[in-house]
Amino acid sequence: MSKVPTLLPGRPGRATCYRWTLKGCNGVRLEAIKIGRRLYTSHEALGRFVTAMTESTRGRSSSSARSPRWPRSHDKRGKDSLAAEALLRRRFGF
């Protein structure tokens, strides 16, 4: 994993590369295996990650990329807020 930043333009930090394996980015995770306390990835996995990230930002579907969660509409936020308020009133008497 320590060599991944040197393979990419802009040289992302090592912490960023580890975050890509643990949490992902835009719903896409960098494939890695853990042996002992170290994470390892491959050139092929890095290529798949970059391709999936590109597809997710272009809006195309990919097996590795999930569709982005669209923000709630103004009406939906209002309804959700009223429902949460009602729940608080029932449970805690607010």
Domain total of the chain: 1
Residue 28 in tokens: 């896409």
The predicted-structure confidence for 12-23, as pLDDT tens digits, reads as follows 888 888 899 999
Q: Which tens digits make up the pLDDT trace of 28-59?
A: 999 999 999 888 999 999 999 999 988 887 76
Instruction: Tell me whether residue 76 is in a domain.
Output: no
Asked, for residue 79, whether it belongs to a domain, the answer is no
The token duo for 16 is 């960023």
Q: Could you tell me if residue 52 is inside a domain?
A: yes
Give the range of the structural domain holding residue 36, as residue numbers without chain letter.
4-68
Q: Is the distance from CB of 22 to CB of 49 less than 8 angstroms? A: no
Residue 18 lies in a domain: yes
Please report whether residue 22 resides in a domain: yes
Residue 62 falls inside a structural domain: yes
